[in-house]
Structure 1
């Protein structure tokens, strides 16, 4: 089943700092690289949203810590 998938990274203030993906993907396991050059060490959040062809939506937000 294909889904429209977006993956974005936000800083601690909620400002979007990166959009890693915004496209249709098939079901399964996927991985993406995140180039953090120019981004300071700290706490960030990433938000993944997938909307299926039937309109079903999955949204999840996770915390990550960037150390350089």
Structure 2
């Protein structure tokens, strides 16, 4: 989803996911970042 520059929040619904380690990616023009997220239920 393309957005204008600035501060943004993303709501993430993990109700149907199991506990575990997930990867997420942020991308902006030439910048790409992949991070780990730990989901514990």
- Compute the TM-score of the two structures, normalised by the length of structure 1: 0.55
Match in the other structure for 1:65 = 38
Backbone CA RMSD of aligned residues = 1.0
**Moved runs in structure 1, 4+ residues, more than 3 A?**
none
Residue ranges of structure 2 left out of the alignment (5+ in a row): none
Judging by fraction of residues, say which structure has more strand.
1
